[in-house]
Chain A
Amino acid sequence: MNSFFTRRFVVQGIFIVVAIILLARLFYIQVIDKSYFLSANYNVLRKITIYPARGVILDRKGQILVQNEPVYDLMVIPREVKPFDTLQFCRLIGIDKASFIRKFEKAQTFSPYRESILEKQLSAMTFASLQEKLFEYPGFYIQKRTVRRYPDTVAAQFLGYINEVTEKDIERSEGFYKPGDYIGRTGVEKSYEEVLRGQRGVQNLMVDAFNRPKGHFAEGRYDTLASAGDKLISSLDKELQKFGEQLMQNKIGSIVAIEPSTGEILAFISSPAYDPNLMVGRYKGNNYMKLLNNPNKPLFIRPIQAEYPPGSIFKVINALVAQQFGMVNPGTQFFCGGGYHYGRRGIMRCTHVHGTLDLAQSIQYSCNTYYGYVYNRMVDHAGMRPVKAYQRWHDAVARFGVGGKLGIDLPNERKGNLPSAEFYTRHFRSDKWTSSYNISLSIGQGELGITPLQMANVVAAVANRGYYYKPHLIKAFGEDKVIKAEYTKRNSLGIDARYFNPVIEGMSRVVNQPGGTASYSRIADIEMCGKTGTVQNPHGDNHSVFFAFAPRNNPKIAIAVVVENAGYGATWSAPIASLMVEKYLRDSITRPKAYVERLLKANLLPGAKKIKPVHRSSEDTILQKLELKPIEILTPKALLQDE
């Protein structure tokens, strides 16, 4: 002990102060600043996403429409790469040196220690040749992923396509999707996205400072397994679909075939079609742009998006509605002197001078005059003001599924157009209009817009004698074969079953009696009932329309065919429909080879050389220049446009 005894307190004080400084700093970095915790996880945790296999899609017989095929992403860990022959390597993976160097530098900038994708989706072929040489290039390895593969290249628009999610998708999904995920963009891939996508799995792997795997974090407690997407069983008949696409080659238009007893869609053809495999793989982007710029718009899903005035097939609806209203009965006769006169000087011409016709005959010969009278009765002589009577007619027609979405399980369905009474009142600036003002509605022209799907649905409902099931493309999904409840509900047309007999009789004669407008399309031993239509198209040649069902009793198939700019319904659409029906019901074609060949080979694309029809029915509905004064002006262009 000496005189400097008190200095012990200085020394001890320094010790205490230093200890407090250390503790304060520790408290800051351990308790207050959370960034170190995140950095530690970044160091050690590698979240490996296990991508589930997307659900496969089968046709109604269990044949594969879409399956998954492995593709190979070339990965790189820049730090582990040793000098190598760049040129030879580029040749192996099929890219040029400049873009290889660019991609490699990008990976290097991201992280020298972590893997990056160098080249996406190498084909199995490229992979096979690369695999043997890969050991010569340390730092590169292959990661397997699956992509969609369409073995038969059919039904592209029905299936739709998938591609990588965008920022917006990620936002909308509230974190379900992660960058790099795939999402259904159109078609069934989109509408059944939740069923198909499956559940991603995550593995939390730990790595050491040299990025060597060190097992699962917390013994895998936070890992999840990937579960594959459910399979979809579509209602399509693959063979029928394929046949339909062949028939529609070099033609623009649609075929929709429905099983009337269930509403299941048997064929869904939108022409021109494209190979769905184009939308997969490395060249997806280029292919997409090509399809987008194709003047015939293959990406346009015509069966649900193209709206046409239905033409003469609409007479079926008018015949049924008029009977239900009690305006006509099977024996009601009108005289056709070559046209229907209305207003002071108006005339809606008929194709022929039909003379006196009854209801069935009016369908058989597709008499415009007859339906002029029928429509006139329904609107002007219903015991109420024409505006009200029109609205009643409108509501009855709407129950056929016209003018509204049918609710098919595809995105972007259009509802078509069935103008309301107010529409005309607004247009004529008065509610004192009569049937003369929109008489063309009687024969399915004018402001009507109906999609091929709606046409098929109408004829399916006729086949059922008064009801329909919502048309749908997916029979069932998952292991438990779930089907949406809305597709099992019967929708009534509000037309009594007995009123169908004369109409169906007329439709049968159209095909099966000599002199019927579609007698050329008669199928031996199968009683097909149909109705032709030739849709006036102010922008070009008329559209050829036909709808039918078969057989007459206990119908198995209802079908609508639209071929744009092809002319008469009887020339193109009806034979195509008849072949489809025969193919479906009999699984073979009994018609002469030349008959099928003509249809397969016909090129009806705009600009192609017109072929002279081999056959021309003398009773076909030819609409001459109609004098629809008030109507023609107001026909919205969009309704009559092809797209």
Chain B
Amino acid sequence: MNNQRSLLFNVDWVVILIYLALCTIGWFNIHAAVFDPLHPSIIDMGTNYGKQFLFIITALILGFVILFLDGKFFSTFSPVFYGATLLLLILVLVIGRNVGGNQAWIPIGSFRLQPSEFAKFSTCLLLAHYISSSNLKFDDMKMIGTCILILLIPMALIMLQPDTGSALTFTSLVFVLYREGLSGYILIIGAVLIALFILSLLFNKFILVGALVGITALILLLSRKSRRSVTSIIIVTAACIAFIFCVNFAYQNILQTHQRNRIDVILGKINDPRGQGYNLNQSKIAIGSGGLWGKGYLQGTQTKYDFVPEQSTDFIFCTVGEEWGFAGSLVVIGLYLTLLLLIINIAERQRSSFSRIYAYGVASIIFFHFFINIGMTIGLVPVIGIPLPFLSYGGSSLWSFTILLFILLKLDSNRMGII
């Protein structure tokens, strides 16, 4: 008993409060999104908000069960979790139910399990387990290779569903690798590649190549003295040019039409607010019409009357923006930012590298969802169907984020002990 009290005493209650706040905000906004003034009821298990209430309760139970588990359990069994998730991911391809073109759900009774959600924390766990237990450093190709392999297997399986959004989530774990010693160039290269990707879609590739060659020539002219850098600069330029051609090829041949359209909408190459751009346009209208203080709870006409599609799952932020305005958006974004910064703080106070690496993984995944989801509702990034952590409707996503966070809290509460 004493042991348990001290155990709960060590738990970071601020994080739990933020977690509860986000879940509550999520529930109220799901209620608002599906609210029908003709049938007002608060708890109705047939509705999304009724189900979400159930999900929140079970998620809390799940969370506290995790807190009472042994701290070593997760690091020890991380390969098992990983393996089990991979099995589920394979299973879903065989017996999964196809909803909206994605074979991502395994039906269990009246609920549907989404294995890709659970792949997130199990991958984090295995990554933490591997890096913390390995003696290798990040300048060793074997180390990097293994890490990338750990990420690529679930990614590839999820891509087969195909659920590009969830698969892309794993790229955010690059922050973990960076923190653990992967060269800082990885972030710069990432940024440059993203920039080149956008540029090559916006401009003719030959113009772009010409500009690139021109810039290279200019740099070479200005830095004639250091001969050594000449070769590397030329190599970089060549790589960039190759990338541009790859992008064009991949864009036309690998991406699916709807993905290409979503990117074109964001880049302004398609202006079709009734067709391809409908979701984004309606989402922006809903959020934009909220103004400074919002229209008030249950008063959001755009979300209430179904102008925004997927409004309780991927586009839940529209309800926040419309009914609570900029003020509400500020609160939600503030809560997420506080949570993320707190998680990094928690990470850095861990003695065990396993806990630290895992904490970075949690932060990366939450950050990726937070940025991509809100970014897509306001037209900053292409529409990618991933949920907003803790707010979006859905049992699998809420449970997986809860597990993700509460494992961290468990590890953190044990930080004084040795794992």
Interface, chain A (partner B; CB < 8 A): 1-5, 7-8, 10-12, 14-16, 18-19, 21-23, 25-27, 29-31, 33, 35-37, 39-41, 43-44, 206-210, 214-215
B27 within 8 A of A: no
Q: From B289, B348, B356, B360, name the one whose CB has the most chain A CB atoms within 10 angstroms.
A: B289
Residues of B within 8 A of A14 (CB): 175
| Cβ proximity bits B365-401 to A, threshold 8 Å, 1 near / 0 not | 0010001001100111000000000000000000000
Assuming the contacts A2-B353, A21-B380, A206-B305, asked whether A37 and B336 have C-beta atoms less than 8 A apart, the reply is: no
Interface residues of B (CB under 8 A from A): 37, 175, 178-181, 184, 187, 282, 284-292, 301-302, 304-307, 321-322, 325-326, 329-330, 333, 336-337, 340-341, 344, 347-348, 353, 356, 360, 363, 367, 371, 374-375, 378-380
Q: Are B285 and A15 in contact (CB under 8 A)?
A: no
Q: Check if A15 sits within 8 Å of B367, measured CB to CB.
A: yes
Q: How far is the CA of A44 from the CA of B180 in the complex (A)?
A: 52
- Is the Cβ of B181 less than 8 Å from the Cβ of A33? no
Known A43-B302, A44-B307; contact A30-B336, beta-carbon cutoff 8 A = no
30 A–B pairs (Cβ distance < 8 Å), ordered by A? A2-B181, A7-B178, A7-B184, A11-B179, A15-B341, A15-B344, A15-B363, A21-B380, A23-B333, A25-B378, A26-B287, A26-B330, A30-B288, A30-B321, A30-B329, A31-B291, A31-B292, A33-B288, A36-B284, A36-B287, A36-B289, A39-B285, A40-B285, A40-B288, A40-B289, A41-B289, A43-B282, A207-B305, A208-B304, A214-B37
Nearest CB of A to B346, in Å: 11
Q: How far is the CB of A29 from chain B (nearest CB, A)?
A: 4
Q: Tell me how far the C-beta of B24 lies from the nearest C-beta in chain A, rounded to whole angstroms.
A: 21
Task: Give CA–CA (A529, B363) in the complex, Å.
Answer: 109
By beta carbon, the residue of chain B nearest A215 is: B37
- Do the beta carbons of A23 and B284 come within 8 Å of each other? no
Cα A215 to Cα B181 in complex, Å, equals 60
Q: A3-B181, A22-B333 are in contact. List 10 more A-B contacts (CB 8 A).
A: A2-B353, A16-B337, A19-B337, A27-B326, A30-B287, A30-B326, A37-B291, A44-B305, A209-B305, A209-B307
When distances are taken between beta carbons in the complex, the residues of chain B under 8 Å from A36 are 284-285, 287-289
Q: Is the CB of A12 within 8 A of B344?
A: yes
Q: Quick check: A31 and B344 within 8 Å, CB to CB?
A: no
Within the complex, what minimum Cβ distance (angstroms) separates A34 from chain B?
Answer: 9
Contacts of B356 in A (CB 8 A): 1
Q: Are B336 and A19 in contact (CB under 8 A)?
A: yes
Choice from B290, B305, B375 contacting A30 with Cβ under 8 Å: B290
The answer to whether B307 and A208 touch across the interface, beta carbons within 8 angstroms, is yes
Q: Is the beta-carbon distance between B367 and A29 smaller than 8 angstroms?
A: no
What residue in chain B is nearest A33 (Cβ atoms)?
B288
Option from A11, A25, A26, A210 in Cβ contact (under 8 Å) with B306:
A210
Contact of A22 among B180, B301, B322, B374 (CB under 8 A): B374
Q: How far does the Cβ of B277 sit from chain A's closest Cβ, in whole Å? A: 13
Assembly CA distance A23 to B374 (angstroms): 10
Q: Considering the complex, give the chain B residue whose CB is closest to the CB of A5.
A: B348
CB-defined contacts of A43 to chain B, threshold 8 Å: 282, 285, 301-302, 307
By the criterion CB–CB under 8 Å, are A37 and B326 in contact?
no
Of all chain B residues, the one with the shortest Cβ separation from A113 is B274
Chain B nearest Cβ from A214, distance in angstroms? 6
Contact of B347 among A8, A19, A37 (CB under 8 A): A8
Determine whether the beta carbon of B302 is less than 8 Å from that of A30.
Answer: no
A44 to nearest B CB, angstroms? 4
> CB distance B179 to A4 under 8 Å?
yes
Q: Which residues of A contact B289 (CB under 8 A)?
A: 36-37, 39-41
Q: In the complex the two chains form, is A22's CB within 8 Å of B371's CB?
A: yes
By a CB distance below 8 angstroms, the chain A residues around B286 are 40
List the B residue with the shortest CB-CB distance to A207: B305
Known: A2-B353, A209-B306. A11 touches B288 (CB 8 A): no
Please list the 6 inter-chain residue pairs (A to B) with the smallest Cβ-Cβ separation, ordered nearest first.
A36-B288, A40-B289, A208-B305, A29-B288, A44-B301, A209-B306
Chain B residue contacts of A11, Cβ below 8 A: 175, 178-179, 344, 360, 363
Q: Which residues of B contact A31 (CB under 8 A)?
A: 291-292, 326
Pair A208/B380 contact, Cβ less than 8 Å: no
Decide if B329 touches A8 in the complex (CB within 8 Å).
Answer: no
Which chain B positions have C-beta within 8 A of A26? 287, 321, 326, 329-330, 333, 378
Q: Which residues of B have CB within 8 Å of A206?
A: 301, 305
Query: What separation, in Å, do the CA atoms of A11 and B92 have in the docked complex?
Result: 34
Within the assembled complex, what's the spacing in Å between the Cα atoms of A29 and B289? Answer: 8
List the B side residues contacting A18 at CB < 8 Å: 367, 371
Residues of A within 8 A of B333 (CB): 19, 22-23, 26
Q: How far is the CB of A448 from chain B (nearest CB, A)?
A: 70
What is the chain A residue whose CB lies nearest that of B290? Answer: A30
Q: Which residues of A contact B179 (CB under 8 A)?
A: 4, 7-8, 11
A448 to B196, CA, bound (A): 91
In the assembled complex, the Cα of A35 lies from the Cα of B371 at a distance in Å of 25
Q: Which residues of the partner chain B approach A33 to less than 8 Å between Cβ atoms?
A: 288
Query: In the complex, how many angstroms separate the beta carbon of A206 from the nearest chain B beta carbon?
Result: 6
Chain B: which residue is nearest A36 at the CB level? B288
Q: What is the distance, in angstroms, from B103's C-beta to the closest C-beta of chain A?
A: 28
* A4:B180 contact, CB within 8 angstroms: yes
- Tell me, rounded to whole Å, the shortest Cβ–Cβ distance linking A111 to chain B: 10
Q: How far is the CB of A112 from chain B (nearest CB, A)?
A: 9
Q: Which residues of B contact A39 (CB under 8 A)?
A: 285, 288-289
Chain B proximity of A376: nearest CB distance (Å): 86
Contacts of A214 in B (CB 8 A): 37, 305
Residue contact B181 to A22, C-beta cutoff 8 Å: no
* Cβ contact of B337, chosen from A15, A29, A40, cutoff 8 A: A15
Point out the residues of chain B lying under 8 angstroms from A41, CB to CB.
Answer: 289
CB distance from B323 to the nearest CB of A (A): 12
Beta-carbon contact of B287 and A23 below 8 Å: no
- Complex Cα–Cα for A577 and B379 (A): 82
Chain B residues with Cβ below 8 Å from A4 are: 179-181
Alpha-carbon gap, A12 to B178, bound state (A): 13
In the assembled complex, the Cα of A102 lies from the Cα of B293 at a distance in Å of 46
User: Bound state CA distance, A8 and B178, in angstroms?
Assistant: 10
| Complex CA–CA separation, A200 to B351 (angstroms) | 76
A40 and B175 CA atoms in complex are apart in Å by 39
Chain A residue contacts of B326, Cβ below 8 A: 26-27, 30-31
B344 with A8: CB separation less than 8 A: yes
Residues of B near A29 (CB, < 8 A) are: 284, 287-288, 378
Complex contact A25–B305 (CB within 8 A): no
**A209-B321 Cα distance, complex, nearest whole Å:** 19
Distance in angstroms from B22 CB to nearest chain A CB is 15
A38 → chain B closest CB, angstroms: 8
